[in-house]
Homo-oligomer: A and B are copies of this chain.
Amino acid sequence: MEIKQAIEALGALAQETRLEVFRLLVTAGPEGLPAGEIAESLGAPASTLSFHLAYLSRAGLVVSRRESRSIIYSANFDGMRGLLDFLTQDCCKGRPEMCSPLVEPKPAAAARRAKTC
């Protein structure tokens, strides 16, 4: 991921409503949620949400698809992974020891990671 793209993604998440939308979509998984449901869930007007969803979409953090009259939004995990990679490599540039272990919230995480090693 290049720097311009990273800045766009960072800016997309640097706002309360959008970060909440993203979190909501992450928990919703690949099935996603229709725009209206997201707006209702956050208690914001449809036009405001539409603005934020477009922002997240431009940033590559969510994707959308039409399904009958609804437009379904879902988290773009590849996009998020791209951002995390950018930050990690940026942060660790030349000094990898300073940013790892990246996550160690509870034993389960360590076990999970052990699998991939």
Contact = CB atoms under 8 A, between A and B. Distances in A.
B91 A77 contact: yes
The A contact surface, by secondary structure, is: helix
A104 B101 CA distance: 14
Contact count band on A: 35 or more
Interface string A74-93: 01010011011101111111
B117 A113 contact: yes
A47 interface: no
Given A10-B14, A84-B84, A26 B93 contact: yes
A84 B113 contact: no
Contact of A117 (B90, B105, B117): B117
Interface of A: 3, 6-7, 10-11, 13-16, 19, 22-23, 26-27, 29, 75, 77, 80-81, 83-85, 87-103, 105, 109-110, 112-114, 116-117
